[in-house]
A and B are shown apart, each in its own frame.
Chain A
């Protein structure tokens, strides 16, 4: 017999301790799983120092009227391209410059950019242009991807609020831009509700001139075009032509508007149009050949996305928990357009946009559920109830979602970006206004995998990726000097009129071509600067004290500014881009003499 007596209280203590230990080790285990997942995610997005990302991601800058350029998968902000707003940093749209004239001629010095669209050749991104809309002032701009600079801006006549923006595949025949708000055409400032119109504009991809427009009953929200270039599609959430929220949601059904592009072109060639606002406007009720098909979908749809195989256009339900898949090949064949609907899978609450991985799966952003849902297109069409494959929480309330190259014929199926409308508690608080949150998701496997979140200033709406290997080789870093470039040693000041001077200066480390020049108060002064550097990243600036002028001149480039020298005295100009060990010494003086000082000189 043992002398040792095991006391009951002791036993229970042991049992309780063991239980705690077990729970502890379980949660430790869960913690280590989370750590492993974090480490995996970190590895997936880490781009080693000096290495490049796989994709350029162009995100619209929203209320800043810009386009933001991020690297994917790292989520590093690499550039913001000013488009509809002046940016002194890059000498963009500074009064007295060409870019200012371009922006000013097109409208206000502010814009609201939403939908970046990359130019295509053979249905794939060709890395030439990026188009971006300005919803607020009904404009669209073309960015030259060789320089990442705004090359052209145009106003779209007749409509109000340029919203959906896409290119017509396969070779960017047109840029299509939607007029979202109902208004009287031709900017006639009319208030005649009966005359209110909306529709889609077809723009020349280079000049951005509106070649023609097609009126759509109701309005035009988001657009896309079929892969063969036959159809332009737009969601129409206001077939009611309502002017208040209540009226806009009155009917249970709205539509996807499908415009037969060749039929529209035929109508133009037959003269079946009205000239309005400097362009040709087609009223689809008055053409001999049917131009417009209004396919009914549940009320107030939003996203409008053509699948990469070109078979379907998807209307994301917004107020309906469904995505309506329309069989594009049936549109002009069925008697009842409802028969063109291939499937209407229920995907969740608040579906806004749908994107594709090229493996037959669709990904829809669910604004209300705050999720991305992955579903299989073929299963949904076949009526298989198991079409939903995965769901992932995003933070919070996603608007657009974009799978890499999802708008081309060849999506790469590796990354998906959720562009979330609210970030709430995701980032360190910066006052009551918070940045927007983007989340990068790995979609290469069956299950989605959250990789990274990164903030953006308000507010990216949509994104477009292009492979770095496809674009980087086309980007200019040192330009060949143009015919207007000032040669080394040719810096000078010329009097070109009684009260007008032209200053020519070269810029190179660490000197402006002139240490000083003199003009007279009230003179019109033009300063032309040529950066004669031959190595990359050697941008110089030109800031002129008290004149509100800053230019940025990249290697090989020539920039110009014109102003009235109305402030007398000594005004230093200096280089604003830190360039060299003698950067601070890189400056000179503009001497503005008063009439009295001129007399004294005589």
Chain B
């Protein structure tokens, strides 16, 4: 077996980036985040589930709106970042695919930029989500029932709201994006450092480097 050549290392990076691109594509069809609302009247198949996808929100929104008459929260169903997510995913897809075809010397730096952009966007997305959740429980209108104080649902976790237990979690789309960031990070690592040491094979020399 030959030691990994420069070409095969570049091949690994290419594979990583193609995998990242595929995941980004998938992200557009996968739910990023969801909340489930459970109460004695809404349990099992009747649990109210709302899923956030890039560009859209799915679930029994009519029921959420109906119940919201009593609590009067601000539902961010037309928040600009929903569309923003779609554009960001598309932009990342273009960047990642573009990076595949860059010459190694430029690719190396481009990947750092893409990685940084993704990390910042991801963090900003989570921050924005937390802000919207805060806003949801604090910028309240037409509350017609008493007894519900202002609240902030966690991005991931659970809380009690009126007669509901509210559960929030990251969904496959969110995890897929995290994987994209991770894959891009590995690509950055591989293009900048020696590859991680391979198990040594007696009598064989191997230089594991992408340079």
Residue A534 is within 8 A (CB to CB) of chain B in the complex: yes
Q: Say whether B62 contacts A532, CB under 8 Å.
A: yes
Residue B145 is within 8 A (CB to CB) of chain A in the complex: yes
Interface residues of B in 98-115 (CB under 8 A from A): none
How many chain A residues sit at the interface, stated as a range, is 10 to 19
Binary contact readout B39-77 vs A (1 if CB under 8 angstroms, 0 otherwise): 000100010000000000000101100100110000000
Return the contact of A535 from the options B60, B70, B144 (Cβ within 8 A): B60
Interface residues contributed by chain B, number (CB under 8 Å): 10
Q: Say whether A509 contacts B60, CB under 8 Å.
A: no
- Give the distance to chain A from B36, nearest Cβ to Cβ, in Å: 15
Chain A residues whose CB sits within 8 angstroms of the CB of B63 once the complex forms:
533-535
- Give the distance to chain A from B71, nearest Cβ to Cβ, in Å: 11
Chain A residues whose CB sits within 8 angstroms of the CB of B60 once the complex forms:
534-535
Residue A1 is within 8 A (CB to CB) of chain B in the complex: no
Q: How far apart sit A244 and B199, CA to CA, in the bound complex (Å)?
A: 106
- Give the distance to chain A from B51, nearest Cβ to Cβ, in Å: 16
Q: Say whether B62 contacts A582, CB under 8 Å.
A: no
Residue A510 is within 8 A (CB to CB) of chain B in the complex: yes
In the complex, residue of chain B having the shortest beta-carbon distance to the beta carbon of A585 = B144
Q: Say whether A510 contacts B46, CB under 8 Å.
A: no
Residue A536 is within 8 A (CB to CB) of chain B in the complex: yes
Chain B residues whose CB sits within 8 angstroms of the CB of A536 once the complex forms:
46
In the complex, residue of chain B having the shortest beta-carbon distance to the beta carbon of A532 = B62
Q: Say whether A510 contacts B62, CB under 8 Å.
A: no
Q: How far apart sit A535 and B67, CA to CA, in the bound complex (Å)?
A: 11
Residue A508 is within 8 A (CB to CB) of chain B in the complex: yes
- Give the distance to chain B from A511, nearest Cβ to Cβ, in Å: 9
In the complex, residue of chain B having the shortest beta-carbon distance to the beta carbon of A534 = B62
- Give the distance to chain A from B145, nearest Cβ to Cβ, in Å: 6
Interface centre among B60, B62, B66, B69 (most CB of A within 10 A): B66
Chain B residues whose CB sits within 8 angstroms of the CB of A581 once the complex forms:
70, 145
Q: Say whether A535 contacts B46, CB under 8 Å.
A: yes
Interface residues of A in 470-498 (CB under 8 A from B): 488
- Give the distance to chain B from A91, nearest Cβ to Cβ, in Å: 22
Q: Say whether A509 contacts B46, CB under 8 Å.
A: no
22 pairs, A vs B, C-beta closer than 8 Å? A488-B62, A508-B62, A508-B66, A509-B66, A509-B69, A510-B69, A532-B62, A533-B62, A533-B63, A533-B66, A534-B60, A534-B62, A534-B63, A535-B42, A535-B46, A535-B60, A535-B63, A536-B46, A581-B70, A581-B145, A582-B69, A582-B144
List of 8 A-B pairs having minimum Cβ-Cβ separation, nearest first: A534-B62, A509-B66, A535-B63, A534-B63, A534-B60, A508-B66, A581-B145, A581-B70
9 new A-B pairs (CB below 8 Å) besides A535-B60, A581-B145?
A508-B66, A509-B69, A510-B69, A532-B62, A534-B60, A534-B63, A535-B42, A535-B46, A536-B46
